[in-house]
Structure 1
């Protein structure tokens, strides 16, 4: 079995990179409402398996193919069941749970080798069905300028990010901090993709650095040493990636960014703060992912979106992260929630249970 179930077609130059990556092919031989990834799945530097956003976005794209154009997703509740393998095709099974006048419900199960690796339930509503009189309010977007590019270009990735700092960085209370960044899909999403393509792209990008927020508000660097960086490089899924200077450069940049953040936290003006005991992440794995879509047609995923992530709680080997996403004009586009396993490296005498 190859990376895709069918021979992948050439990339469509009229579409953005992220559209080509998220493209689906019907698998009518298996049954109705069954789809598979048309092209190989991209995964970011350091990833052992598939990027979680790929399963989220392609499940959304598959579900959108089974509802009428008058319906748009307003919520999506996902569970990561098993680790995906970027060297195997994914089969998406959509079930039409309910079709009502105002709402429709779909479940999607993503499978590899017949085993479920990801499952989600999506709810769609008919846009404009709330009537002329409405209850409306929205959290305002912080006034944060777009930071300059860091100089690293990786045209293979379907989206790009720019970090915009950490609010309350020097606070001793992680729950008061907010990690900020800008994100957008590369290229120009085609008119043919319509708003569904922008929604799928948003879902794809919503998993970027999400559960990692906990490590950042806790001041725990992802790569604590050059040796830790080498360990990540050695665990890349595709052997050919080990020869990529682009990936090595991107990882080095991430290490340098995190090191500078930690140094900044140790210095406050001329006063040197006492550093915290050394801690290292032993495991950080997403368990679930929820997206609440707000203004479904009020943004473009290929324009810069502003993201703010906070963690209200962590404990008992798990952590929770909240994410708000705004368009540049201040429209609150989506609110996301993710819980994950977050464990520190332990002494040999006190190792936690395996997943």
Structure 2
């Protein structure tokens, strides 16, 4: 396999599709065998990350799997493991296995491979949505409840930004999704990391044209955004590749970018306030689960609220929980991620830090 980002020649973006749809397009490689797909366009590698953005791989695996089930089956759960850091300079092959096809449920496993090595694996379950609703039935046919949209300090449900929202900094106004500044809240006012939450409104840029499957892929993509990084905000951990006390020594342009990112991620107004705080040495996602509660109501090109919290951290790992709400308050999905979290250790005496 040649060292190039896609196996086939990359086509121009389709102007009729939203940016996220172009980014997540997969191509069927029937010539290689049944249920094998590849990325149509180069996958994003976040600056400073060890590998490609995990949300893109999750979403492309879902896109490939959805191509192998009947249209009346919708995804209800997706259980993923990140095995190796993926390269944006190499194409990915998505191998879909049709594990089971029943009347109500269908199961697929997908392996994402580069150079013959599995970098990511997921098991995805699909179901035929129930046609009945407890709200419309004269007699309940099934149990039903859901978390409500969080409320603000005024006691009212949180409101989404206006449709013409343009407050995103130029540094961050790129990519297929846009969002608001992350807010860190402590409902118990305890200051304990396990009682804090982060909140952010997000939506895909443009209008998604591919119907429910494309909307679900878009939600899967954004579900990995700022996920395990929630730990840095709950514990106030320094995450940049230099010490906080070196901030004033940086070029003015770099200082501006660092300050923008620091504020946008809900860490405070001034990066110098982090002097003396612990610093991240390594942080990587290990696994990722998405439960799609209302797949037919997902509109990822409209504002969605993500709320994240962490029930546990220890033994160099941490677990983060995420709820994703539609702007009308519907709980669309619940996500769980465990990641490796290692703090930077002081350099031995007589040796300088590599950072």
Q: TM-score, normalised by structure 1?
A: 0.84
Change (3 A) 1:314 1:306: same
In the other structure, the counterpart of 2:108 is 106
The corresponding residue for 2:219 is 202
Q: Would the alpha carbon gap of residues 248 and 105 (structure 1) be closer, same or farther in structure 2, given more than 3 Å must change?
A: farther
User: For the residues of structure 2 that align with 1:258 and 1:56, how far apart are their CA atoms?
Assistant: 23
**Aligned-residue offset at 1:45:** 3.3
1-side partners of 2:284 and 2:333: how far apart?
A: 22
Shift of 1:160: 1.2
- Deviates further, 158-167 or 335-344: 158-167
Match of 2:158 in 1: 144
CA–CA distance in 2 between the matches of 1:281 and 1:7? Answer: 39
**CA-CA distance at 1:289 after TM superposition:** 0.2
Counterpart of 1:236 in structure 2 is none
Aligned CA RMSD, in angstroms, stands at 2.8
The number of aligned residues is 325
Report how far residue 151 of structure 1 moved: 3.3
Structure 1 outlier segments of 4+, above 6 Å: 228-231
Give 2:197's aligned residue. Answer: 178
TM-score normalised over the length of structure 2? 0.84
The whole-number CA distance in structure 2 between the counterparts of 1:320 and 1:82 is 19
Give CA deviations for 1:289-347 in whole Å, capped at 9, x if unaligned. Answer: 00000110113101110010000000000000000000000000000000000010113
In 2, the alpha carbon distance for the partners of 1:285 and 1:309 equals: 17
Aligned to 1:81: 83
1:165 aligns with 2:183: yes
Aligned to 1:53: 55
Deviations 1:254-280 (A, max 9, x none): 13445862769x8xxxxxxxx995210
SS class of match (1:57): helix
| C-alpha displacement of 1:173 | 1.0
1:254 aligns with 2:265: no
Is contact 1:221-1:258 (8 Å) kept?
A: no
Give the drift of 1:5. 0.1
Cα deviation, residue 166, structure 1: 1.1
The 3 A distance-change label for structure 1 pair 229 and 202 is farther
CA–CA distance in 1 between the matches of 2:101 and 2:217? 21
SS of 1:210's equivalent? coil
Contact residue 77 and residue 289 of structure 2 kept, 8 A? yes
Can you give the 5+ residue segments of structure 2 that lack an aligned partner in the other structure?
151-156, 350-355
Task: Identify the residue that residue 270 of structure 1 maps to in structure 2.
Answer: none
Alignment of 1:340-355 (within 5 A): 340-348=339-347
Distance 2:92 2:185 in 1: 39
1:31 to 15, 27, 33: 33
Deviations 1:236-260 (CA, angstroms, capped at 9, x unpaired)? xxxxxxxxx9x99765511344586
d(CA) in 2 for partners of 1:111 and 1:228? Answer: 40
Instruction: Give the distance between the partners of 1:282 and 1:229, measured in 2 at CA.
Output: 22
Equivalents in 2 of 1:210, 1:130: separation in Å?
34
Matched-pair contact (CA < 8 Å) for 1:309–1:323: yes
